[in-house]
Structure 1
Amino acid sequence: MVMASNSMAFSAARWTYHSKRSPNGRSGSSIYSQIVLFEQPNEPNEQLCRREMILKSSELALLGAIFHFSGTKPSYLGVQKNPKALALCPATNNCISTSEDVSDLTHYAPPWNYNPEDGQGKQIPVSREEAMTELLEVIESTKPDKFTPRIVEKKDDYVRVEYESPIMGFVDDVEFWFPPGKKPIVEYRSASRLGNFDFDVNKKRIKTLRVALEKKGWASEGTF
């Protein structure tokens, strides 16, 4: 006899004789019913559909492979002529510059001093050329927020770097300028090409570079 259900089939019941010891120690006999079950999964008429779970980062990486959001290099980059300084920031919250007014808490950032009185400037001052070498070393060896730096323009007193994001290929333009004169100062500007907000990526980048330069004896002319 075979009994079937929706999800499994059963074999016929088999009656098996077992020896049983009674409480008084005598051997007796009893009959136990042993049912052997064989589970046989049903074969559905239609295949079940499975949802493929995709991590958000993987999804963005896929979009980044299709679209490359590098943007276009702004035409106003470089040292401005009148007055001679790096460009100001646009009204968006994705840029910082040493050229901004100190009262602009959103866009202003203090310049760096590569020969501070309480640093290497007091002991063994470095030349502008040596300071440029130290700056380039830090740029090439540091990847803030995993952005990849690429030096695209270099002069005796100026460096422009393109930082590309690991996902989507967003590009930020970062400039460094050694103003003429005897002061050991470095001005800089860091700005995103696209969007209105950067979630403080530019500030974090500059702070990371500053910390690395401080290990070489540099110092910031202020905090932000």
Structure 2
Amino acid sequence: MKVAPALVFAMLSAAALAAPPALTPCPDKPNCVSTEASGKAQMAPIPFAGTVAEAQDALRRAIAAQARSTITREEPGFIAAEFRSRVFGFVDAAEFVIDADARVIRFRSGARSGHYDFGVNRERIDALRAALSPAH
């Protein structure tokens, strides 16, 4: 049976949209937080109201409002960003998956180098959570 290339593309695209990207696991260091981690590195996902597109737009604006932030990749339901420290320019990388089924934003935010982050990634996620809260 021969399948038209357009049909194959449509099927693969639908499958890609159905399965949100997996988050990069946190390393075994105290410099990362994630909804997928366990122990001290674990944080609760960020709930959202409205559509996925509205949540993504609000998340994009909240990230852009953070000092020294850059969105490095964006696709429907997913944002990757980098945050640079003010003094030494250390880079923290973050990934956000907008989970339409669970109505939450899952995330991972961690230092690219070093062992400790002095709680910076947890504070950043708390600030984003506050910015995205309905009362904000």
Q: Given the two structures, how large is their TM-score scaled by the length of structure 2?
A: 0.79
- After superposition, give the CA deviation of every residue in 1:157-182 in whole Å (9 maximum; x if it has no partner): 11000101122211000110023x53
User: Which residue is equivalent to 1:93?
Assistant: 30
- Give the superposed CA RMSD: 1.6
**TM alignment of 1:1-224, pairs within 5 A:** 85-101=22-38, 104=39, 106-115=40-49, 126-143=50-67, 148-179=68-99, 181-214=100-133, 216-217=134-135
Distance in 2 between residues matched to 1:136 and 1:212, nearest whole Å: 11
Q: Given the two structures, how large is their TM-score scaled by the length of structure 1?
A: 0.49
Greater RCO, CA 8 A, separation 6+: 2
Distance in 2 between residues matched to 1:182 and 1:160, nearest whole Å: 20
- Which protein shows a greater Rg? 1
- After superposition, give the CA deviation of every residue in 1:52-104 in whole Å (9 maximum; x if it has no partner): xxxxxxxxxxxxxxxxxxxxxxxxxxxxxxxx631221111100111113xx1
Unaligned 5+ segments in structure 2 are 1-20
Distance in 2 between residues matched to 1:162 and 1:142, nearest whole Å: 10
Indicate the percent of aligned positions where both proteins have the same amino acid: 31
1:142 Cα shift? 2.6
**Letter aligned with residue 108 of structure 1:** Q
Unaligned 5+ segments in structure 1 are 1-83, 116-125, 219-224
